[in-house]
Amino acid sequence: MEHTWLEIDLSALRYNLRQIKRGLNGKAGILAVVKDNAYGHGIIRISQALVEEKIDYLGISDVSEGRELRAVGINSPILNLGLISQKEEVEEVVNLNISQTVCTKRISCLLDKEAKKRNKRIKVHLKIDTGMGRLGAFVSEATELTEHICKLKNMELEGIFTHFPDAADKKFTLSQIKGFNAFLQKLTKQGINFTYQHSANSLAFLGLSKSWFNLIRSGLILYGVYPQASLRKKIELKPVLSWKTKVAYIKDIPKGWSVGYGRTYTAQRKERIAILPVGYGDGYFYRLSNKGRILIKGKFFPVVGSVCMDTVMVRIDKDIKIGDEVVIIGRQKAQQIKVEELAKLSQTIPYEVVCRLSQLPHRFIDKLNKL
């Protein structure tokens, strides 16, 4: 029996996607970022639901993810946003008909050679570094690279994109957009055009319409998580992920009795403690020791003592019983614990919270009528 599990509401996913589409109002397509197991939500079922909703593109970060999606019959366009460096990866990209991010001549030549061998044309998206300082060719070297790719007979330069390091910094982001636009205009004058131009992540989609071009890369908001609290006013989203467990053990402790490693919590009076079968080994942050809270029967209860590898201790009342369902993330009756709350208390970002849960058992729910 599973001691803890995730519930993934595909109805909420569909709702969020439709909200994004409404916001775009037909002005751009959507590349749904499903990398890293769909931010911990389960890449196969998430991608299948998105394909049913007629998503334009799926974005992955590793060839193995593309293999998984193709193996279950997903034939939609897939862009590998990550690097490839090994011959085996090049072969698989071509074999699986995955579009590939390129930012070097070496990779473009390897892809072209492999595509020629298989009598195929491989689609690629050129990545430009306008300020991220990570992957991508600098604008100063990108013209030569673009011209080089255009000469390769088994390669189709389908897309071009850039990446924002901080879309909340509008001044810097607008400077990136300006540089990216200038480069696109230069290529257009040379007769080089792209089917897709993209730069906007979730935050930029909601804050800077100039960043949309004709495709946005939607990640965190697809899963109902806000990159910034202020964005709640701009779009209504539904959390896709809930994290649950059950009360495994209950004990009454006397006043002055300590709880957990390091004796970081001591009972101020006679107290009832519930032990939950989850811990930092399951993805519950150690930083939530004596800070976190959970839901049982629609009521909040505090985490007490240090979070252990496999257990968390919670101070409860007399109404709680062994076997009662516990919500760690999600809604119970009128109350809710959000991913953003755990991220703030753990001094991290929402992305890390959900990605840490990737290996937990997933249970999928889908009640929303399909289009």
The residues annotated as belonging to the active site are: 35, 261
Burial of 252 (0-12, 13-18, 19+ CB in 10 A): exposed
Bridge partners of 5?
Answer: 244
Cβ 122 vs Cβ 156: under 8 Å: yes
Give the span between the Cα atoms of 192 and 176, in whole angstroms. Answer: 21
What count of other Cβ atoms lies within 10 Å of the Cβ of residue 178?
A: 12
Element (H, E) at 49: helix 43-52
State the maximum Cα–Cα separation within the chain, in Å, rounded to a whole number.
79
Indicate the DSSP class of residue 369. P
Give the span between the Cα atoms of 264 and 170, in whole angstroms. Answer: 43
Give the span between the Cα atoms of 303 and 174, in whole angstroms. Answer: 43
Q: Which of 202, 190, 185, 85 has its CA nearest to residue 135?
A: 85
Give the span between the Cα atoms of 152 and 89, in whole angstroms. Answer: 19
365: phi then psi, degrees, rounded to nearest 5 = -125, 140
Could you identify the residue written with the tokens 């403690």? 273
Could you identify the residue written with the tokens 């389908």? 158
What does the CA dihedral 39, 45, 48, 50 come to, rounded to 10 degrees? -40
Angle at 292 between CA 290 and CA 298, to 5 degrees: 125
